[in-house]
Amino acid sequence: MNGLWVSIVAMKMAALSEPVPWVAWFLWLFVGFAGLFPLLVAYIVWGERKVAARFQDRIGPNRVGPFGLLQSIADLVKLLFKEDFTPARADFLIHALAPVLMLISAMLSLAVIPFGFGSVSMRNDPVTGVLRPTLTGFSAVDLPSGVPYLIAVSSIASLGLFLAGWSSRNKYALLGSMRSVAQMVSYEIPQVLATVPIVLWSGTLSLTGILDRQVETGWYVLTPPGFMAFVIFMISSFAEVNRAPFDLPEAESELIAGFHLEYSSMRFGLFFLAEYMSMFAVCCICTTLFLGGGAIPFLAFPRGLLGGYVVVDLFLNLITILVFSLKVGLLIFLFFWVRATLPRMRVDRLMAFAWKLLIPLCLVNLLIAAIWFEIVIRPVAGRPDGPGFLQWWIGFGVTALLEVLAFFGAVWLYRQDSEHSLKTWRSSTGSKPSIIAWRSVPTKV
Amino acid sequence: MSQDVPLNWYLIVAACVFVIGLFGVMTRRNPIAVLMSIELMLNASNLNILAFWRLGTPNPGEAPLTGVVFTALVIAVAAAEVAVGIALILVCYRVWKSADVDRYDSMLG
Amino acid sequence: MLLLMLVSAGMLVAGLWEILIFREFGPMRGVFVQIAGAAVLCAVGTVLARNLIHSALYLVAFFFLVACLFIMLEAEFLAVMQVLVFIGAVAILLMFGIMLTQDVQGDQVEAHSVLRRLPAAIVAIGLFVMLAVAVQQRPDFSKARTERAAPSVAARERVLNQMPQELGLDLMQRWCLPFELVGLLLTASLVGAVALAQPVGSLSAGSDGTPSPGSLTETPEHLSREVAGGTHSSSRPDLVSP
């Protein structure tokens, strides 16, 4: 399906009579998506085991190869040679399709990420409409509607999860998948709402355009509304890729292994690969949207040098890709850190957290982002030197104050609500709430 | 020979899908299957609108994005329709304890 | 070894099939024929599949293929919206609906009778013939775009490259009223769906702030009670575990 999608987009570009370098397509497909990214994921797994071991005062894998570097490869070989087992009453085709769907969703979202700066070409400015030099971005595809595309392909993953649980004919797997779909559908909303300020400020949906705006006007994470959006985006990303502390779909102590309970051998390996691949993809998205992609902190220098010579372009792309991977690595470390530190959340708390805290906060944050747009970005639209010093600080002060107020207000309301519900619970049942009965009223049918 | 796909190919495909959806609405008994067939019909109409927008001859003075706006609105309406439809089906299931449109007969004369 | 042979044989057949299609129709038409054919097959599968989850899966494939057709019509923003709304939201909602109104495993199949199908098939085929004849009556429909004079194609080519932006401006200026009305409709349907799906008697209790997000979370609750070794005299007899 990946190939189909790629070929259709290529066909579309050919129809618009843009020259398509087919070599680049093949390189992306076979070196990138079929080779480099899975290899990277294998080493993310190794890194996680090492980091988690350090957190638990252990050494971690150290037997296969130097520092245990070949451990993931050995695990892969082990997975490949295990017995491929399908439950007798399982729906065979869907059972086989589900892990592939999840992997496809993770891989498709990597297709639009600008890993490097690419070259420079003249394009229309999204805000003023004037022609000016713009980064082209080093990505497989530069979709004009990149942000909704990312949301769309990440929603395919919940479908794969659901099918995995349903086709296994196992209560625990079904429970895990029901939980996970409810969780992913809920956390998709704050995730999407957190990207809206970015789109508002950049005036474009293309990820390359967003990267270009950030190199010009500064990283979005450094502004108060941008920082809030970044935090909300990261929290909901943890839930979207089912990582701790939101790993309820695979909660071992309650559901054995959740949705992938009935999977063995390489099919389980595919789930594993998909989980880490989507984690990697989410970190890449976050880096592109909030952390300025491959831009070096407080410097816009690679941008001015691009577009002259091929060799210079290649060299600068290498640098930007390295910076990009450094940022992604830091975010991935954050994922490891949280997993090693925080305990798992309860189901009702999880849903309440999304609906009663994150979504209201996102909506308020959107308003504050609009204030930032009016103070800092709109007055200087089209000017090449970006926002002025004084303007930037006025905007910073106003929005930071509003952000703090909004944050504490939302948390206060959330606390009030949960205390109130606890009180009414105690007065109505006369007992403490148990963990299993997270729904207050027994259903009458 | 031209490489473009002509308009009537799209129209035939859309008509085909619409008719299949109609068949589903008439034959399926599970209300959710009926809802799915309605989704098929809505998608067929979307395809039709978009094909006319892209390949049909536009009227003079027409806005350049009429078909796209129309399709976007239809998508929104389809989403609303499914949400309410599922809620209605759940209520019907609670009242009649069955998922069969033939049993929902309280307004039968 | 057998697997390798099977895979290579499959690739050979697929390659031959592609060559055949492309020699017959040319690149654009070849792609269209394959996508449209698959879409029609998926639509048939949706209507005829006996297992409802399979039906929903065919529907998902159909939505995806329609998104591909949207891309061929050069409306990629709408294609993305199609995947986002229909696969991400509608299909998931439908599957939840199936789980809530059926045996939890969703395996109940419904019986089809020829008596129901025959009149429906006659009506459907009749309608299709009517539509097809009507379409073929117009000779200008069968011409490709490049052969016709299209007055405002230039304006359209301009908006194609900035479709999201132009669409947003259009929605806020020219189509403001429909846009607002759709917003109203969505809000009304949201409220209506919550009000409808709220179980009877829990409306007063549901306001105490405890998470009672409607019927979407009913099934996990029932299941968890059963899993925990609870009573099988659940209030819903259809949820008996297999």
Give tens-digit pLDDT for A175-228: 878 888 888 888 888 999 999 999 988 888 888 888 888 887 778 888 889 999
Residues of C in contact with B74 (CB under 8 A): none
Could you tell me which residues are beta bridge partners of residue A122?
A133
Mutate to test the interface with C, among A93, A441, A444 (most CBs of C within 10 A): A441
Pick the CATH number of C10-111 from 3.30.160.40, 1.20.210.10, 3.20.20.70, 1.20.120.1200: 1.20.120.1200
**Are B35 and C82 within 8 A, CB to CB?**
no
Instruction: Let me know how long chain B is.
Output: 109
Q: Is the pLDDT of residue A103 over 70?
A: yes
Residues of C in contact with A249 (CB under 8 A): none
**Are B86 and C63 within 8 A, CB to CB?**
no
Q: Which domain holds residue B94?
A: 7-103
Residue of C nearest to A422 (CA): C210
**Are B19 and C124 within 8 A, CB to CB?**
yes
Q: Is the pLDDT of residue A333 over 70?
A: yes
Residue A15 or B104, more confident: B104
- For the ranges A321-325, B98-102, C65-69, C144-148, the maximum mean pLDDT occurs at C65-69
What is residue A19's predicted lDDT score, i.e. its pLDDT?
46
What is residue A361's predicted lDDT score, i.e. its pLDDT?
92
Check if the beta carbon of residue A127 is closer than 8 Å to that of residue A207. Answer: no
Give tens-digit pLDDT for C177-224: 999 999 999 999 988 888 887 766 554 444 444 444 444 444 444 444
In a domain, B1, yes or no: no
Domain count across chain B: 1
Backbone angles phi, psi at A16, to 5 degrees: -80, 10
Q: Is the pLDDT of residue C137 over 80?
A: yes
Residues of C in contact with A204 (CB under 8 A): 164-165
Residue A429 contacts C, CB cutoff 8 Å = no
Kind and range of the H or E run holding B94: helix B66-96
Q: Which of A397-401, A434-438, B97-101, C71-75 has the lowest mean pLDDT?
A: A434-438
| Range 205-224 of A in CB contact (< 8 A) with C | 205
Report in angstroms the alpha-carbon separations of B67 from A419, B35, C83, C175, C212: 51, 25, 18, 12, 41
Sign of CA dihedral C8, C13, C14, C20: positive
Q: Is the pLDDT of residue A254 over 80?
A: no
Residue C25 or A255, more confident: C25
Residue A433 or B81, more confident: B81
Q: How many CB atoms are located within 10 Å of the residue C45 CB? A: 17
Give me the CATH number covering residue B27: 1.10.287.3510
Residue C42 or A309, more confident: C42
Q: How far does the CA of residue A347 sit from the closest CA of chain C (Å)?
A: 10
Instruction: Kindly state the tokens that stand for B32.
Output: 């959710």
The type of residue at A117 is F
User: What are the residues whose beta carbons fall under 8 Å from the beta carbon of A149, sequence distance 6 or more?
Assistant: A112, A143, C80
The type of residue at B41 is M
Residues of C in contact with B48 (CB under 8 A): none
**Are C86 and B18 within 8 A, CB to CB?**
no
| Cα C71 to Cα A350: distance, rounded to the nearest angstrom | 37
| Range 43-62 of B in CB contact (< 8 A) with C | 43, 46-47, 50-51, 53-55, 57-58, 60, 62
Mutate to test the interface with A, among C224, C233, C236, C238 (most CBs of A within 10 A): C224
What is residue A425's predicted lDDT score, i.e. its pLDDT?
63
What ipTM, to 2 d.p.? 0.91
Report in angstroms the alpha-carbon separations of B85 from A266, A389, B77, B89: 40, 54, 12, 6
Q: Is the pLDDT of residue A252 over 70?
A: no
| Cα A143 to Cα A204: distance, rounded to the nearest angstrom | 11
Q: Where are the domains of chain C?
A: 10-111, 112-142, 152-198+213-242
Residue A420 contacts C, CB cutoff 8 Å = yes
**Are A159 and C223 within 8 A, CB to CB?**
no
Confidence label for C86 from pLDDT (cuts 50, 70 and 90): very high
**Are C102 and B99 within 8 A, CB to CB?**
yes
